[in-house]
Chains A and B, each alone.
Chain A
Amino acid sequence: MADEMWVNMGPQHPFNHGLWNLRVRLDGETITAAEPIVGYLHRGWEKMVENRTYPQIIPLADRLCYGSSFSWSHLYCLAAERLFDIEIPERAKYIRTACLEIQRIISHLTWLMALGTDLGSYTILIWCLREREVFIDRMVDICGARMTYNYPRIGGVRNDLPPNFARDVIRSLDLFETRLQEIEALTDSNAAFRMRTVNIGNISAEKAINLGLTGPNLRGSGVELDLRRHEPYEVYDDMDFEICTATDGDAWSRYRVRVDEMRESDKIIRQCLDKMPEGPVRVKVPRCPPKGTVGCRVEDPRGESLMYIVSDGTDKPYRLKVRSPNYINLSAAPAMLLGYKISDVPSIMGVLDMCIGETDR
């Protein structure tokens, strides 16, 4: 093939949200090879935290992924609690679950906003940003920060909920339900949006499992797998929710799964606020954990995120390894890209929900 060429899409390119580079080899307009290049945001997180005490790592864990910072600081606190072997108060568990689901809605709205601009619909960006602000305001009510919350603590959460928090959240959710229908009307009935996502970037369930895809990207291939159900943490085993799946394995089904998940998050938040007991929100923890290791995984908005902590009995972790879901989803991207046209790249990579902060660590 004489007219083969390599095209660099990145590091500064309108389609990649975050700092990464996609090298694709083109035969005409068809992609024959693809190679994502990451590492532009690598800052040595895992080495840095070896010089920090356990509570000092919480704000750093917030900055692992800025799209869904609460789920990362929560994962760190959860892993540390299992390492310290402490049980947190019941109310703190409910607060954390509610915050996690608010965070999931915020994260998915951020993703939908980015996907909207990728596919040329600026209105989706504006509307999703507007809805996102409503939920960000609820998090500001709790902890004062818009994105990097620093709210969970080892042994609970930092402070109790403000008065009238439940009322505000219910109002926001009521508003959100109607607004989500409007946004869906904008995408589902949009012929251009459908043409650019339906039957694009197909991946089969077996291949997706083997390549390590998790989260909404795996559920879009027709695998009903959710760690909130399979390895329940916090109070997810008391919650009544469904695992959203779609069977086609293309970009459209991955998009559908995420939009449906926002509705399920809505349900979970309402149940949490209903059942929330009174009581303390934080327990005291010792300074140094016992010697040992712990591996703890949760369902991030992007997939399975895992932290593996090795403790040597001092107040600093000996080793902390992070499994980032997006890192592996991105490594599976060439399997989805091969054989499609170069104009399909934004939609295929857009529905993967990129967040490079956690990918590069």
Chain B
Amino acid sequence: MDIDLSFQAMTMTAKQFSEMSKNFIRETMVTTGAKKAIDKLTAPIWSWGQRNALYPLHFGIACCALEMAASSGARFDAERLGIIYRSSPRQSDVLLVNGWISAKIRPSLKALYEQMPAPKWVIAMGECSISGGPWYDAYNVIQGVDTFLPVDIYIPGCPPRPDALLDGFLKLNRKITAENRGSFLED
């Protein structure tokens, strides 16, 4: 670090300093090609960790919630795939929307999604959360959760069987593998 830079640092606030140093490191990494190399090396590890410990939020809405419960039972045993339901949105990384969304619950659902730490994914389970399903002309049902949340995986069925739910989680695994998001330097 040269003299000039350290003199600037003395007049900076802490926030500006961290911003500046971050930019400096990133630029050096990008120009030297080290970022690409580190990304390539760490991405498989990161996505391996992400995809094998998917913690969905324990949030039962309607019919599909019972199939969600059945999938964690002894017969289908979702825990062998690392799917463990957590009761707090702060500890979970998959929002499993399993039912119709009424106008009264939409703000709460949005708040739940925003409370979850990144990286996070949304699975729409069942017809109601995909497109409104049988309630297509109801006055109080939002026609699809993708009107206000980004959905990654759709699991059709009314309600889908627990094996379909597990298949949806495996699809999400493949999606995470394909994304290969490993750059811990980015944020």
In the bound complex, how far is the Cα of B164 from the Cα of A224, in angstroms? 43
In the bound complex, how far is the Cα of B141 from the Cα of A360, in angstroms? 12
- Given the known interface contacts A19-B61, A147-B63, the answer about A129 and B69 at a Cβ–Cβ threshold of 8 Å is yes
B158 touches A19 (CB 8 A): no
CB interface residues, B 136-168, toward A, < 8 Å = 137-141, 158-159, 161
In the bound complex, how far is the Cα of B138 from the Cα of A51, in angstroms? 10
B138 touches A40 (CB 8 A): no
In the bound complex, how far is the Cα of B163 from the Cα of A71, in angstroms? 26
Beta-carbon nearest neighbor of A62 in chain B: B63
Instruction: Confirm or deny: A43 has a beta carbon within 8 angstroms of a beta carbon on chain B.
Output: yes
Query: In the complex, how many angstroms separate the beta carbon of B164 from the nearest chain A beta carbon?
Result: 11
- Chain B residues near A232 (CB, 8 Å)? none
Size category of the binding interface on chain A: 35 or more
Contact with B along A1-37 (1 / 0, CB 8 A): 0000000000111100111000000000000000000
In the bound complex, how far is the Cα of B13 from the Cα of A193, in angstroms? 58
In the bound complex, how far is the Cα of B60 from the Cα of A17, in angstroms? 7
Most chain B CB inside 10 Å of its own CB: which residue of A59, A67, A357: A357
- Chain B residues near A17 (CB, 8 Å)? 60, 65
- Chain A residues near B58 (CB, 8 Å)? 14
In the bound complex, how far is the Cα of B102 from the Cα of A19, in angstroms? 11
Beta-carbon nearest neighbor of A37 in chain B: B104
A146 touches B61 (CB 8 A): no
Most chain A CB inside 10 Å of its own CB: which residue of B60, B89, B104, B105: B104
- Chain A residues near B161 (CB, 8 Å)? 146
- Chain A residues near B99 (CB, 8 Å)? 19, 41
- Chain A residues near B158 (CB, 8 Å)? 148
In the bound complex, how far is the Cα of B138 from the Cα of A17, in angstroms? 24
Contact with A along B63-96 (1 / 0, CB 8 A): 1011101100111000000000001010000000
Query: In the complex, how many angstroms separate the beta carbon of A70 from the nearest chain B beta carbon?
Result: 13
- Chain B residues near A147 (CB, 8 Å)? 63, 66-67, 159
CB interface residues, B 27-74, toward A, < 8 Å = 57-63, 65-67, 69-70, 73-74
Number of residue pairs A-B, CB distance < 8 angstroms: 96
A51 touches B100 (CB 8 A): no
Instruction: Confirm or deny: A98 has a beta carbon within 8 angstroms of a beta carbon on chain B.
Output: no
Contact with B along A126-159 (1 / 0, CB 8 A): 1001101100000000000011100000000000
Instruction: Confirm or deny: A308 has a beta carbon within 8 angstroms of a beta carbon on chain B.
Output: no
Instruction: Confirm or deny: B6 has a beta carbon within 8 angstroms of a beta carbon on chain A.
Output: no
Instruction: Confirm or deny: A44 has a beta carbon within 8 angstroms of a beta carbon on chain B.
Output: yes
Instruction: Confirm or deny: A48 has a beta carbon within 8 angstroms of a beta carbon on chain B.
Output: yes
- Chain A residues near B105 (CB, 8 Å)? 11, 19, 40-41
- Chain B residues near A40 (CB, 8 Å)? 102, 104-105, 108
- 6 shortest A-B CB distances, which residue pairs? A129-B73, A66-B63, A14-B87, A40-B105, A43-B138, A44-B138
B interface with A by C-beta (< 8 Å): 57-63, 65-67, 69-70, 73-75, 87, 89, 99-100, 102, 104-105, 108, 112, 134-135, 137-141, 158-159, 161
Instruction: Return 12 A-B CB contacts under 8 Å, by A number.
Output: A11-B108, A12-B57, A39-B104, A40-B108, A42-B102, A44-B135, A44-B139, A63-B134, A129-B69, A129-B74, A146-B67, A147-B67
Further pairs besides A12-B112, A41-B99: 15, Cβ < 8 Å:
A11-B108, A14-B58, A17-B65, A19-B61, A40-B108, A41-B100, A43-B100, A44-B141, A48-B138, A67-B66, A125-B73, A129-B74, A132-B73, A133-B73, A148-B159
